[in-house]
Amino acid sequence: MTLSVSLKHRFADLTLEVAFQGSGRLTALFGPSGCGKTSVINAIAGLLRPDRATITLDGTTFADDGAGTWLPPHCRRVGYVFQDSRLLPHLTVKQNLRYGRWFTAPAERYADEASVVALLGLSPLLDRKPAHLSGGEKQRVAIGRALLQSPRLLLMDEPLASLDEARKLEILPYVERLRDEVKVPIVYVSHTLSEVARLATDVVLMAKGRVAGAGSVRDVLPQLAQAGDELAQDAGVLLDARFKDFDAANELTTLASPAGDVRVAGRLATPGGQCRVHIRAADVMLATTRPQEISALNIFEGEVTAITELPGAALEVRIRTGSCFLSSRITRFSASRLGIAPGKPVFAVVKTMQVRPPGR
Amino acid sequence: MAWFSLSPEEWDAVRLSLKVAGVAMVASLPPGIAIAMVLARKEFWGKSLLNGLVHLPLVLPPVVTGYVLLLTFGRRGPVGSFLAENFGLVFSFRWTGAALACAVMGFPLMVRAIRLSIEAVDRKLEDAAATMGASPSWVFATVTLPLILPGIIAGMILCFAKAMGEFGATITFVSNIPGETQTLPSAIYTYTQVPGGDAHALRLTAVSVVISLGALLVSEFFARRVGTRVAQ
């Protein structure tokens, strides 16, 4: 799947000028509220017709400025999970689920109702009306409804934003299964870093109507520092880790990551299991000699590769450690005191309590 | 109950009124929905003019409306003569004319009720249906129409009630011919004008009350059924 988007649109308070290509299993459109993310996927779905737009999905042209093409939404076969679910109130859950399938040509139907119902745990809800569903149940039905139309692309617009924490944790695993088990590519809009860190394979970073960065989730997350204060707080790196050991006496899990062993508080993953951990740049300390007598359990030996100036007192230092990179945010003052410069060997120190899986 | 047995002429008036009101209601429904859609959803030059035209019978004296109908749909009127020559459809001094007059008088009420319910429809639901592959006409049939059903029923009942009570435009346009154009209100009016007609007028008044009350109850019943279906 290759989705190619290039569009330009003037709103009263924002000029949207966006171009990107996505080919990941789950591409996250990530940025602060009001930066135009939803408008972009509305244009992909055909619900918003921008001033100028060229949008193609694999071989199909949705919109082409040069040729004056504009495919109406009902001809695009793009599934859309809205933030507010938008189930049809006069139909039962089962009728809602079958609505899109009915409009899909039999030759193009690939979604199987029984397996989607099982995937999303919908069987107890089938005969109910949307008004009798909880927020989390509505979103699950909305996801199922979009899947059952056998879409070529699934758009999700902050599907968790209207839910409380408990409901979010209820839906997240379903989205993960969608990404890993269903073959439809997903474009996922979010302004929550933990969701993106947990779900995305690729990220398009947006700020003020423009693309501020794009690439795989591991490449883009460290760039967050430039995306503005709101997001910079959460900038950091993601490590894909495997379970190594659990110390029951001290309640500590040891994970094997590309940066080396990482120790995390509490039981995380099970033998043979995998998980992602998020290390925020602001939580990483730097030392020029290996610290002794320090409470932090995670000390990574590495080498400075790059230094990025940030607004204010801070610097962002990129450190190669093991087969990956870590980011550290330290003050300009500390950097000059320690003589931090590219090529310098350093020790990156992370408190055990600060290493968390995304979303906690 | 002997006093309540209706004479053949009275029965004629009741039957004719029901027929005229029913035809007026059913015939104005498709254009009523279409005009309500246009007024609720479209922006175009002359929209206020169309809106004004639709509502005109509501503010004009009914006699004026009836006279305008007579001028245009009468035998020698431009529209009337065309329809009579090409389709054999004659309005003047026929029950069809009474139905036309009632439809014109009830139309603004029907359009108003339907338009309000269309404006209350969440268009995001229609967008959602479109992303699921429904073309605009399918969206209308499977989303908009079911959601505005309570408004349609309310509009139909209002139109029916207005038609049952319509007097001025009808009597001006198609006169007061027993068995052909004499509806309930015309019959009551006639009986009040002749000596000894009081008992007849009273009986027909009672019938009017029963029919109107019945229509209200039926609409209430349907509106509630549809309401619960849509909401839950």
Tokens in use for B34?
């279409």
Query: What distance in Å separates residue A197's CA from the closest CA in chain B?
Result: 28
The answer to whether residue A199 scores a pLDDT higher than 60 is yes
CATH number at residue A44: 3.40.50.300
For residue A51, is it within any domain? yes
Q: For position B85, what pLDDT does the model report?
A: 86
For residue A359, is it within any domain? no
Q: For position B215, what pLDDT does the model report?
A: 84
Per DSSP bridges, beta strands A26-30 and A69-70 are unpaired
Q: What is the mean pLDDT of chain A?
A: 86
- Nearest Cβ partner of B128 from A46, A82, A132? A82
The answer to whether residue A207 scores a pLDDT higher than 70 is yes
CATH number at residue A309: 2.40.50.100
Chain B residues within an 8 Å CB radius of A132: 232
Is A146 found in the same domain as A191?
Answer: yes
Is A278 found in the same domain as A185?
Answer: no
Q: Do A73 and B131 touch (CB under 8 A)?
A: yes
Q: What percent of chain B has pLDDT over 90?
A: 56
Tell me the torsion sign for CA atoms B219, B222, B224, B226. Answer: negative
Q: Which of A47, A86, A107, A57 is nearest to A99 (CA)?
A: A86
pLDDT classification of A2: cutoffs 50, 70, 90 = confident
- Nearest Cβ partner of B230 from A73, A80, A90? A90
Q: Which domain range does residue A224 map to? A: 3-232
The answer to whether residue A268 scores a pLDDT higher than 80 is no
For residue A360, is it within any domain? no
pLDDT in tens, B164-221: 889 999 999 998 888 888 999 999 999 999 888 888 899 899 998 898 888 888 878 8
For residue A35, is it within any domain? yes
Q: Provide ipTM, 2 decimals.
A: 0.80
Q: Could you say which of A194, A212, A232 is where a domain stops?
A: A232
Q: Could you say which of A232, A253, A276 is where a domain stops?
A: A232
Give CA–CA dist A282/A330, Å, rounded. Answer: 7
Q: What percent of chain A has pLDDT over 90?
A: 32
CATH of B7-123+133-231 given 1.10.10.410, 2.60.40.650, 3.40.50.11260, 1.10.3720.10: 1.10.3720.10
The answer to whether residue A80 scores a pLDDT higher than 90 is yes
The answer to whether residue B232 scores a pLDDT higher than 50 is no
Q: For position A227, what pLDDT does the model report?
A: 55
Is A299 found in the same domain as A203?
Answer: no
Structural domain tally of chain A? 2
Is A222 found in the same domain as A105?
Answer: yes
Q: How far is CA B7 from the centre of its chain?
A: 27
pLDDT classification of B138: cutoffs 50, 70, 90 = very high
For residue A277, is it within any domain? yes
The answer to whether residue A63 scores a pLDDT higher than 60 is yes
Q: Do B134 and A149 touch (CB under 8 A)?
A: no
Phi, psi angle pair for B221, to nearest 5°: -60, -50
Q: Do A88 and B232 touch (CB under 8 A)?
A: no
pLDDT in tens, B24-47: 999 999 999 999 999 999 999 999
Is A171 found in the same domain as A24?
Answer: yes
pLDDT classification of B128: cutoffs 50, 70, 90 = very high
Q: Which of B75, B88, B77, B57 is nearest to B170 (CA)?
A: B57
Cβ atoms of residues A99 and A91 within 8 Å: yes
Is A221 found in the same domain as A271?
Answer: no
For residue A112, is it within any domain? yes
- In B, minimum Cα distance to A82 occurs at B128
- Segment (H or E) for B224: helix B198-231
The answer to whether residue A226 scores a pLDDT higher than 60 is no
Is A138 found in the same domain as A90?
Answer: yes
Across the range A56-70, mean pLDDT stands at 88
Across the range B147-166, mean pLDDT stands at 90
Is A79 found in the same domain as A51?
Answer: yes
Is A207 found in the same domain as A316?
Answer: no
pLDDT in tens, A168-192: 777 888 888 888 888 789 999 988 8
Q: For position B8, what pLDDT does the model report?
A: 81
Query: What pTM was computed for the model?
Result: 0.76
The one-character DSSP state at A251 is: T
- Number of CB atoms found within 10 A of residue A305's CB: 13
Q: What b/e sequence results for B6-28 when a residue is b if at least 16 CB atoms lie within 10 Å of its CB, and e otherwise?
A: eeeebebbbebbbebbebbbebb
The answer to whether residue B18 scores a pLDDT higher than 70 is yes
Chain A residues within an 8 Å CB radius of B138: 74, 103
Better pLDDT: A254 or B229: A254
Q: For position B228, what pLDDT does the model report?
A: 65
Q: For position B38, what pLDDT does the model report?
A: 95
The answer to whether residue B227 scores a pLDDT higher than 80 is no
pLDDT in tens, B97-118: 999 999 999 999 999 999 999 9
Is A251 found in the same domain as A225?
Answer: no
Q: Do B133 and A77 touch (CB under 8 A)?
A: yes
Cβ atoms of residues B44 and B186 within 8 Å: no
The answer to whether residue A230 scores a pLDDT higher than 70 is no
For residue A17, is it within any domain? yes
Tokens in use for A52?
């100028």
Chain A residues within an 8 Å CB radius of B134: 74, 99, 103
- Mapped onto helix, strand or coil, the DSSP state of residue A254 is strand
Is A175 found in the same domain as A123?
Answer: yes
Q: Which of A48, A88, A127 to mutate to test the interface with B (most CBs of B within 10 A)?
A: A88
Chain B residues within an 8 Å CB radius of A72: 130, 135
Is A286 found in the same domain as A211?
Answer: no
Q: Could you say which of A188, A213, A232 is where a domain stops?
A: A232
Q: What is the mean pLDDT of chain B?
A: 89
Q: For position A46, what pLDDT does the model report?
A: 93
Across the range A32-43, mean pLDDT stands at 89
Query: What distance in Å separates residue A85's CA from the closest CA in chain B?
Result: 9
Contacts of A219 (CB under 8 A, 6+ apart): none
